[in-house]
Amino acid sequence: MKLYILILPLLLLSSCDFPKVIPSTFAKDYCSCRFVVGQSKDYCLMYAKQIVSPTSWSEDANKKEIVAKFLTKKTRVKFLNQKFGCQIQEN
Protein backbone atom coordinates (compact mmCIF):
# COMPACT_ATOMS: atom_id res chain seq x y z
CA MET A 1 0.00 0.00 0.00
CA LYS A 2 2.80 2.39 0.94
CA LEU A 3 4.45 1.66 -2.41
CA TYR A 4 1.25 2.67 -4.25
CA ILE A 5 1.14 5.94 -2.32
CA LEU A 6 4.66 6.64 -3.49
CA ILE A 7 4.25 5.48 -7.09
CA LEU A 8 0.84 7.00 -7.86
CA PRO A 9 1.90 10.66 -7.56
CA LEU A 10 5.01 9.89 -9.62
CA LEU A 11 2.85 8.34 -12.37
CA LEU A 12 0.49 11.31 -12.31
CA LEU A 13 3.44 13.69 -12.42
CA SER A 14 4.97 11.82 -15.36
CA SER A 15 1.81 12.16 -17.40
CA CYS A 16 1.73 15.99 -17.28
CA ASP A 17 4.12 18.57 -18.75
CA PHE A 18 5.86 19.39 -15.48
CA PRO A 19 8.63 16.78 -15.84
CA LYS A 20 9.44 18.15 -19.32
CA VAL A 21 10.02 21.67 -17.99
CA ILE A 22 12.87 20.61 -15.72
CA PRO A 23 15.28 18.93 -18.19
CA SER A 24 14.27 21.24 -21.04
CA THR A 25 14.96 24.57 -19.33
CA PHE A 26 18.11 23.18 -17.73
CA ALA A 27 19.59 21.75 -20.93
CA LYS A 28 18.75 24.80 -23.05
CA ASP A 29 20.01 27.36 -20.54
CA TYR A 30 23.15 25.35 -19.75
CA CYS A 31 23.99 24.86 -23.44
CA SER A 32 23.65 28.57 -24.26
CA CYS A 33 25.57 29.58 -21.14
CA ARG A 34 28.48 27.23 -21.91
CA PHE A 35 28.78 27.40 -25.69
CA VAL A 36 27.27 30.75 -26.69
CA VAL A 37 28.29 32.93 -23.77
CA GLY A 38 31.39 30.84 -22.91
CA GLN A 39 31.02 30.81 -19.13
CA SER A 40 32.57 28.18 -16.84
CA LYS A 41 30.89 24.86 -16.00
CA ASP A 42 30.33 25.93 -12.40
CA TYR A 43 28.76 29.23 -13.38
CA CYS A 44 26.48 27.60 -15.96
CA LEU A 45 25.40 24.89 -13.57
CA MET A 46 24.35 27.54 -11.06
CA TYR A 47 22.73 29.60 -13.83
CA ALA A 48 20.72 26.76 -15.40
CA LYS A 49 19.43 25.08 -12.24
CA GLN A 50 15.88 25.90 -11.20
CA ILE A 51 14.20 25.11 -7.87
CA VAL A 52 13.92 21.47 -8.99
CA SER A 53 17.06 19.99 -10.57
CA PRO A 54 17.20 17.33 -13.30
CA THR A 55 17.67 13.79 -11.99
CA SER A 56 20.70 13.39 -14.28
CA TRP A 57 22.49 15.33 -17.01
CA SER A 58 25.59 15.07 -19.19
CA GLU A 59 27.70 17.39 -21.32
CA ASP A 60 29.43 16.08 -24.43
CA ALA A 61 32.12 18.69 -24.99
CA ASN A 62 33.14 17.27 -28.39
CA LYS A 63 29.65 17.18 -29.85
CA LYS A 64 28.69 20.32 -27.89
CA GLU A 65 25.53 18.61 -26.75
CA ILE A 66 23.66 18.54 -23.44
CA VAL A 67 21.30 15.75 -22.35
CA ALA A 68 19.21 16.23 -19.21
CA LYS A 69 16.65 13.85 -17.64
CA PHE A 70 13.89 14.16 -15.09
CA LEU A 71 11.86 11.06 -14.20
CA THR A 72 10.84 9.59 -17.57
CA LYS A 73 11.49 12.73 -19.63
CA LYS A 74 14.66 13.56 -21.53
CA THR A 75 15.80 16.66 -23.42
CA ARG A 76 18.70 16.89 -25.87
CA VAL A 77 20.04 20.32 -26.81
CA LYS A 78 22.79 20.90 -29.37
CA PHE A 79 25.09 23.85 -30.02
CA LEU A 80 24.87 24.43 -33.80
CA ASN A 81 27.42 27.21 -34.33
CA GLN A 82 28.24 30.69 -33.04
CA LYS A 83 25.67 32.36 -35.31
CA PHE A 84 22.69 30.19 -34.40
CA GLY A 85 23.67 29.05 -30.90
CA CYS A 86 21.82 26.21 -29.18
CA GLN A 87 18.60 24.48 -30.18
CA ILE A 88 16.40 21.87 -28.53
CA GLN A 89 16.66 18.75 -30.70
CA GLU A 90 14.22 16.48 -28.88
CA ASN A 91 12.15 16.69 -25.76
Contact set with other proteins (CB under 8 A): 16-18, 20-21, 24-25, 28, 32, 36-40, 43, 47, 50-51, 82-88, 91
Q: Which are the contacts of 19, defined by CB distance < 8 A and separation ≥ 6?
A: 13, 70, 71, 72, 73
**Which is closer to other proteins, CB of 14 or CB of 18?**
18
**Alpha carbon of 33 to those of 41, 42, 54, 59, 85: distances in Å?**
9, 11, 17, 12, 10
- Spacing of C-alpha 22 from chain mean position: 6
Minimum Å gap between C-beta 4 and other proteins is 25
Minimum Å gap between C-beta 90 and other proteins is 10
**Which is closer to other proteins, CB of 40 or CB of 58?**
40
Minimum Å gap between C-beta 1 and other proteins is 29
**Which is closer to other proteins, CB of 59 or CB of 79?**
79
Taking the CA of residue 45 as centre, how many other CA atoms within 13 Å lie in the half-sphere pointing to its CB?
7
